[in-house]
A and B are shown apart, each in its own frame.
Chain A
Amino acid sequence: MVLDNIPYIPVADGIDWTVDKITDWFSWLFDPIKDGFGWLLDNSADYLSMVPPIVIIILVAILAFLLSGKKFGLAAFTIVGLIFVHNQGLWEELMFTFTLVFYASLISVLVGIPVGILMSKSKLAENIITPVLDFMQTMPAFVYLIPAVAFFGIGMVPGVFASFIFATPPVVRFTNLGIRQVSKELVEASDAFGATGNQKLFKVELPMARRTIMAGVNQTVMLSLSMVVIASMIGAPGLGREVLSALQRADAGPGFVAGFGIVILAIIIDRFTQNLNKEK
Chain B
Amino acid sequence: MPIKVENLSKIFGKKTKEATKLLDEGYSKEEVLEKTGCTVGVNRATFEVEEGEVFVIMGLSGSGKSTLLRLLNRLIEPTEGSVEIDGQNLATMNKEDLREIRRTKMSMVFQKFALFPFRTVLDNAEFGLEVQGIEKEERTQKAKEALDLVGLGGYVNQYPSQLSGGMQQRVGLARALTNDPEVLLMDEAFSALDPLIRKDMQDELLDLQETMKKTIIFITHDLDEALRIGDRIALMKDGSIVQIGTPEEILINPANDYVEKFVEDVDRSKVLTADKIMKRPETVDYDKHGPRVALERMREQGLSSIFVTDRSRNLKGYVTAEDARKAREEGVSQLSSIMKDDMPTVDLETSIQDIFNIIHDAPVPVAVTEDGKLRGVIVRGAVIAALADGNEVNGDGA
Contact = CB atoms under 8 A, between A and B. Distances in A.
Given A192-B75, A192-B102, A193-B179, A183 B114 contact: yes
Name the prevailing secondary structure of the A interface residues: helix
A161 B72 CA distance: 51
Interface string A96-115: 00000000000000000000
A188 B116 contact: no
A189 B110 contact: yes
B128 interface: yes
A186 B114 CA distance: 5
A189 B131 contact: no
Contact of A208 (B73, B110, B118, B185): B118
A191 interface: yes
Given A204-B116, A208-B118, A192 B111 contact: no
A190 B73 CA distance: 12
Contacts of B199: none
Contacts of B130: 203
Interface stretch (A64-72, A194-202, A243-251, A262-270): A194-202
A190 B175 CA distance: 11
A196 B103 CA distance: 11
B318 interface: no
Nearest to B132: A194
B127 interface: yes
Interface string A204-217: 10011010000000
B112 interface: yes
Contacts of B100: 194
Interface residues of B, number: 28
B21 interface: no
A279 interface: no
B99 A196 contact: yes
B128 A194 contact: yes
A276 to B, nearest CB: 16
A185 interface: yes
Contacts of A183: 112, 114
A193 B107 contact: yes
Given A194-B102, A194-B132, A203-B131, A188 B75 contact: yes
A185 B70 CA distance: 12
B38 interface: no
Contacts of B111: 185
B108 interface: yes
B139 to A, nearest CB: 12
Contacts of A196: 99, 131
Contacts of B99: 194, 196
B90 to A, nearest CB: 13
Contacts of A193: 102-103, 107-108, 127-128, 131, 175, 179
Contacts of A195: 131
B110 A185 contact: yes
Contacts of B185: 192
Contacts of A208: 116-118
A186 B116 contact: yes
Contacts of B108: 188-189, 192-193
Interface in A26-83: none
A195 B101 CA distance: 12
Nearest to B117: A208
Interface in B171-198: 175, 179, 185
A192 B131 contact: no
A185 B109 CA distance: 10
A194 B114 contact: no
A194 B110 contact: no
A190 B111 CA distance: 15
A189 B114 contact: yes
A195 B175 CA distance: 14
Nearest to A192: B108
B116 A192 contact: no
B131 A191 contact: no
A196 to B, nearest CB: 7
Contacts of B113: 185
Given A185-B110, A203-B130, A203-B131, A191 B118 contact: no
A54 B113 CA distance: 52
B102 A191 contact: yes
B144 to A, nearest CB: 18
Contacts of A188: 70, 75, 108, 110, 114
B107 A192 contact: yes
Nearest to B129: A193
B172 to A, nearest CB: 9
Interface in B109-145: 110-114, 116-118, 127-128, 130-132
B103 A194 contact: yes
Contacts of B118: 207-208, 210
A193 B109 CA distance: 10
Contacts of A210: 118
A182 to B, nearest CB: 10
Nearest to B70: A188
Interface string B70-111: 100101000000000000000000000001111110111011
Contacts of B127: 189-190, 193, 203
Contacts of A189: 108, 110, 114, 116, 127
Pick from A186, A190, A192 the residue with the most CB of B within 10 Å.
Answer: A192
The 4 closest A-B pairs by CB, nearest first: A194-B103, A194-B102, A185-B114, A192-B108
9 contacts: A185-B113, A189-B110, A192-B106, A193-B102, A193-B128, A194-B103, A194-B128, A194-B131, A195-B131
